[in-house]
Structure 1
Amino acid sequence: MAQMELAGMPRRLFACTPSRLAAFEDCPRRYRMIYLDRPRPPRGPAWAHTSFGVSLHNALRRWWEEPFEQRTPVRAAQLVRLLWVADGFRDGEQSVAWRERAAEMAAGYVTGLDPAAEPRGVERSVAARTEGLAFSGRVDRLDDRNGELVIVDYKTGRRPSTEADARSSPALALYAMAAGRMLRRPCRRVELHHVPSGRVAVAEHTEESITRHVHRAESVAADAVAATEALRSGGDAERAFPPRTSGLCSWCDFRARCPEGQAAAPDRQPWDALGEVDPGSAAGAGASAGDVAASGGREATDV
């Protein structure tokens, strides 16, 4: 039986994560396959760049869970090896080479951290409601600095992040909004930490800039709801959720079911985004995949 909305009842909020919003913006067809199609279409292969990024994220999370005296660069490298995800690599030799590179990156990154600066949270879940959203997500690290909260997001791609990246990120702005409301503390500063190079890109939000991001997210949500209602009312799935093609189609988990995506971008091997291990520079050896993970990676990058 169709659910009816009675006059005067509040509008149902759109439950979302940053990944869900990004999926619809990037490609409505991909969004439909992830969130609406049942049974869900089978996904493509595991991606080595996703395994690389997940391994580094997991190691950095565990590093902060270690006793203070064990928060050392050596331990960070050990944790990468312990938690390494080998899916998607060409062979064992390539996996080991990237594992050791990731261990070097993690050790170098934590060298610049104060192990005594206990974060307010690591992989901290945050949530908040707006007029149109029931938003939730998971922050890589939530710092408490001089009475204000700071959002820290790890990046493992080849290209270091910029201040423009930090300022324009919808996810970071929504995290800041949610963390500030939940913990009743100011939360304006957001940071992108590029693990391979140790570079930090910073943006300082205002109430106005966060409000703009919230309104943008609510607009995306409204479009997703309208498309979903059209589909459930018997509308054509291809019209309600058209493909949005780009170079990212090479990395889409549902590429095999999308002729338009296949025509838009070439096939890739699961390890192609990594490039080659560069023995001379950690900064140059990161997975270029950080920039393509939204199309073919963990839904989880709620990172």
Structure 2
Amino acid sequence: MDFKQCPLKYRFRAIDRIPEPPSRRAVRGTVVHAVLEDLYGLPAAERLPERADALVPAAWARVRDGQPEVAGLITDQQLDPFLHEVRTLVRRYYRLEDPTRFDPESCEVRVETELEDGAPLRGFVDRIDIAPTGALRIVDYKTGRVPGPDYETTALFQLKFYALMMLRTRGLVPAQLRLIYLADEQILTYTPDERELLRFERTLSALWAAILEAGRTGVFPPNTSRLCSYCDYKPLCPAFGGTPPPYPGWPTSGRRQDTPSAETASE
């Protein structure tokens, strides 16, 4: 998805691997995800709102300890308002789903596969549900708001990406994919079709071919848009007077985890 939005951003993230400073919003989203993961680790009858509230401090501590760079982002004076925001988002979740009524198959799962042309796909799935009938549902939590007119190129791309990975790793077309937007308490659903997913697979293969060509030539042009205002790489971007570091070349270690991919991530 980064390459579609901006090839240069993809290079900085996937090839140069230049770290991005954590943002308060992103850290809040990570803590909310941690709380919901912990919530579904409890027996169904215990997944009550007050129990979810009690899980917040431990989830924050785990995120803070796992990412020491975020500790300076939330000061002691800011901690209580920050945790209040986390609790507010978690409470809104209860107005969209009742976690006491079902048990997910898994939460926070990293899924990896390769297409026939060698295109690597990697991503984290927030939750996988399996119905008694065997029907599969993919759920992704979003702590932001429902996207606007660019829904087709952002949220829908991500949903199709997850659906294709399930098709290739499990041989199943998910019965439903669900995006849960906590900020404005909305759910977007998508019912994939196998023929549509096969067309999408060809789109990803073409995208991977473009990535490989850019990797060979070292040409990753910037693509300016309104998203540039939020990009941490803006000081390095030639479109804004910056100078990228020397191109390090395409990774050649052969290790899968070191190879750039058409990866998608959730907020």
TM-score by length of 2: 0.76
Aligned to 2:246: none
Note if contact 1:147-1:185 (Cα within 8 Å) is conserved in structure 2: no
Q: Is residue 233 of structure 2 the alignment partner of residue 246 of structure 1? A: no
Aligned to 1:104: 88
Aligned to 1:121: 106
Q: Is residue 56 of structure 2 the alignment partner of residue 77 of structure 1? A: no
Specify the code of the residue in structure 2 equivalent to 1:125. Answer: R
After TM superposition, the structure 1 = structure 2 runs for residues 199-214 of structure 1, keeping only pairs within 5 Å, are 199-214=186-201
After TM superposition, the structure 1 = structure 2 runs for residues 158-237 of structure 1, keeping only pairs within 5 Å, are 159-160=145-146, 165=151, 169-231=156-218
Residues 194-249 of structure 1 show CA distances to partners (whole Å, capped at 9, x for unaligned) of 12343211111111221232222212111110011113xxxxxxxx1111122222
Note if contact 1:160-1:194 (Cα within 8 Å) is conserved in structure 2: yes
Note if contact 1:123-1:141 (Cα within 8 Å) is conserved in structure 2: yes
Q: Is residue 30 of structure 2 the alignment partner of residue 46 of structure 1? A: no
Kindly tell me: are residues 31 and 80 of structure 1, through their superposed partners in 2, closer, same or farther at Cα, counting changes over 3 Å?
Answer: same
Aligned to 1:202, the other structure's residue is in SS state strand
Specify the code of the residue in structure 1 equivalent to 2:121. Answer: F
Aligned to 2:213, the other structure's residue is in SS state helix
Note if contact 1:166-1:172 (Cα within 8 Å) is conserved in structure 2: no
Instruction: Measure, in 1, the Cα distance between the counterparts of 2:264 and 2:203.
Output: 21
Instruction: Measure, in 2, the Cα distance between the counterparts of 1:34 and 1:107.
Output: 33
Instruction: Measure, in 2, the Cα distance between the counterparts of 1:163 and 1:62.
Output: 34
Aligned to 1:250, the other structure's residue is in SS state helix
Residue in structure 2 matching 1:29, options 1, 5, 8: 8
Specify the code of the residue in structure 1 equivalent to 2:232. Answer: D
Note if contact 2:141-2:182 (Cα within 8 Å) is conserved in structure 1: yes
Report the count of equivalent residues.
Answer: 235
Aligned to 1:96, the other structure's residue is in SS state helix
Q: Is residue 128 of structure 2 the alignment partner of residue 142 of structure 1? A: yes
Specify the code of the residue in structure 1 equivalent to 2:108. Answer: E
Structure 2 residues without counterparts, runs of 5 or longer: 65-69, 243-262
Note if contact 2:38-2:55 (Cα within 8 Å) is conserved in structure 1: yes
Kindly tell me: are residues 172 and 163 of structure 1, through their superposed partners in 2, closer, same or farther at Cα, counting changes over 3 Å?
Answer: farther
Q: Is residue 34 of structure 2 the alignment partner of residue 61 of structure 1? A: no
TM-score by length of 1: 0.68
Specify the code of the residue in structure 2 equivalent to 1:141. Answer: R
Residues 162-203 of structure 1 show CA distances to partners (whole Å, capped at 9, x for unaligned) of 898389622221211222343344414111111234321111
Q: Aligned Cα RMSD in Å?
A: 2.8
Kindly tell me: are residues 140 and 131 of structure 1, through their superposed partners in 2, closer, same or farther at Cα, counting changes over 3 Å?
Answer: same
Q: CA deviation at 1:99?
A: 1.8
Aligned to 1:152: 139
Instruction: Measure, in 2, the Cα distance between the counterparts of 1:79 and 1:166.
Output: 35
Structure 1 residues without counterparts, runs of 5 or longer: 1-21, 232-239, 264-298
% identical aligned pairs: 27
Note if contact 2:111-2:125 (Cα within 8 Å) is conserved in structure 1: yes
Kindly tell me: are residues 242 and 181 of structure 1, through their superposed partners in 2, closer, same or farther at Cα, counting changes over 3 Å?
Answer: closer
Q: Is residue 265 of structure 2 the alignment partner of residue 301 of structure 1? A: yes
Residues 78-118 of structure 1 show CA distances to partners (whole Å, capped at 9, x for unaligned) of 22232225737575444421320221220231353142411
Q: CA deviation at 1:258?
A: 2.0
Specify the code of the residue in structure 2 equivalent to 1:72. Answer: L
Instruction: Measure, in 1, the Cα distance between the counterparts of 2:148 and 2:139.
Output: 14
Specify the code of the residue in structure 1 equivalent to 2:174. Answer: C
Deviates more, 1:141-150 or 1:51-60: 141-150
Residues 106-154 of structure 1 show CA distances to partners (whole Å, capped at 9, x for unaligned) of 0231353142411121112333332332322221111113321111111
Q: CA deviation at 1:60?
A: 0.8
